[in-house]
A and B are shown apart, each in its own frame.
Chain A
């Protein structure tokens, strides 16, 4: 990383003595100023809180602000310092040990909800299963978005994760969202512990259990209409070369890099979750499957895997902003339609009624036309 110019640091200092600290992780003055403002708002809120978290620090807001700026300078994500992150319209709790939700994930979930919320022929109870749920952000946002638009369908949503910490945080986020006045979510939401990688025909006494055993034990249905997952998808080499320092230093590797297996190369390791997720979706008889990926290469590999299991009627690739018009369809293979703008971000598969819910006729296998 290039060093910051002395002149910039000096200029920042004259604006606010804390800004040089924030310039380190933020790189630009505008970004540092934004973060300083948010930190300050956070400290103000703490100071005004009726139940003080730390009385001594509360009496010294300046010292507290400085301490938070120093923490941020070490690379600690702002979301862990402030304790929350926005995900669509929701503000969710974040804590070290659980991955911070990303805006691209929120954009895909919101878009999926948008596509199906006015669909004909939805079942009276729509079931959504989120594998690798982390903070619980995906089921919580889907519930909020879908329920804001439509109230004549019951929703059942279930998030699954291997991490105790994640499941605990997801439950707290559910309680938080339910307390929030503007929340529209009314679905039946729950979170359970399971290892989505372990073999359902293997040892049944594993801890945490495999998905099937966990569903059974928690008296959850086997069948789900929609399966969503944002699994760990970064290869070991990409972890070192393409993730930012703040990600490597502060977010759990368990959430980012799939486990190694003997004989797997770098790419196979990155893709390790997808065959299991697709099998789980098949077993759940899912009509719609939405899987997040790292980039176009991985999207193509996952789409190809999905085609190989030969149960889907349609497969397409979504970019970061799937709701935007796609103006640069150049250089993309005609094999799978690619929708939206930005980097390739997820793979959408559907079958049977899923096509109707999504408004994808069986004939529409070509990518959408560009703007006139």
Chain B
């Protein structure tokens, strides 16, 4: 099920202010400011929920007749965020319901990246990951230096996750700067 239209939009306070300033949001709820919540949000900002009225949803199944006449696995979902023009396509699974959920999650991440830049969940996550990787790399290097003489280049390639979800971020139509200026 898609998030119901009554779901709240979760945003961090600075963004919330800019949204309200732009008159884009009537309802919003910030996290309660307990110290634990603050600490947690320093690690990872809360996930952002999306209103159904903020997006246009499309099920890509090609043109032509549907119903009994075709039996293609047509589980692809395309979401367009109206305010930013971001488009997400997803056919990760055979379940359309599941793809709708995945597409919404990724859209929320992309919007947040636009709004928060290096404060967004994905950016914070990536930093945590690259920190871990850096320290792992350091260890590895030390190890390799020790083994240097014996072997040459045993480093494995990191396998990319197979990516069936695409995001298109428009460059000219609406940039985050425009969003902040306008309204």
Interface residues of A (CB under 8 A from B): 30-31, 34-35, 37-38, 77-79, 82, 85-86, 88-89, 91, 99-100, 102-105, 148, 230, 232-234, 238, 242-244, 246-247, 251, 255-256, 292-295, 320-321, 324, 342-343, 345
Nearest 6 A/B pairs, CB to CB: A86-B95, A243-B69, A77-B71, A100-B71, A244-B70, A89-B97
Indicate if B154 sits at the interface (CB-CB under 8 A): no
**Interface residues of B: mostly helix, strand, loop or mixed?**
loop
> Which one, B28-36, B59-67, B109-117, is touching chain A?
B59-67
| Complex Cα gap A197–B61 (Å) | 33
Return chain B residues, CB-CB under 8 Å to A294: 65, 67-69
Which B residues between 45 and 88 are near A, CB-CB below 8 angstroms?
A: 57, 59, 61, 65-75
Please indicate which of the listed interface residues B72, B75, B164 has the most CB atoms of chain A within 10 Å of its own CB.
B72
Pair B71/A244 contact, Cβ less than 8 Å: yes
- Chain B: minimal CB distance from A268 (Å): 18
| Complex Cα gap A11–B98 (Å) | 30
| Complex Cα gap A294–B162 (Å) | 37
Pair A99/B68 contact, Cβ less than 8 Å: yes
Pair A243/B67 contact, Cβ less than 8 Å: no
Indicate if B159 sits at the interface (CB-CB under 8 A): no
Q: Which of A34, A78, A238 contacts B91 (CB 8 A)?
A: A34
Pair A103/B74 contact, Cβ less than 8 Å: yes
Pair B69/A324 contact, Cβ less than 8 Å: no
Pair B66/A342 contact, Cβ less than 8 Å: yes
Pair A79/B96 contact, Cβ less than 8 Å: no
15 intermolecular pairs with C-beta atoms under 8 Å apart: A31-B72, A34-B73, A78-B73, A86-B95, A86-B96, A234-B68, A242-B65, A244-B70, A244-B72, A294-B67, A294-B68, A294-B69, A342-B66, A343-B65, A343-B66
Please indicate which of the listed interface residues A86, A91, A232 has the most CB atoms of chain B within 10 Å of its own CB.
A86
Q: Closest residue to A106 on the B side, CB-wise? A: B96
Indicate if B1 sits at the interface (CB-CB under 8 A): yes
Return chain A residues, CB-CB under 8 Å to B72: 31, 244, 246
- Chain B: minimal CB distance from A99 (Å): 7
Return chain A residues, CB-CB under 8 Å to B69: 234, 238, 242-244, 247, 294
| Complex Cα gap A343–B70 (Å) | 13
| Complex Cα gap A88–B1 (Å) | 9
| Complex Cα gap A82–B91 (Å) | 17
Indicate if B140 sits at the interface (CB-CB under 8 A): no
Pair B1/A104 contact, Cβ less than 8 Å: no
| Complex Cα gap A56–B161 (Å) | 31
Pair B94/A38 contact, Cβ less than 8 Å: yes
Pair B59/A103 contact, Cβ less than 8 Å: yes
Q: Which of B67, B73, B94, B162 contacts A345 (CB 8 A)?
A: B67
Pair A233/B73 contact, Cβ less than 8 Å: no
Do A321 and B70 contact each other (CB < 8 Å), given the known contacts A103-B75, A295-B65? no
Q: Closest residue to B97 on the A side, CB-wise? A: A89
Return chain B residues, CB-CB under 8 Å to A105: 67
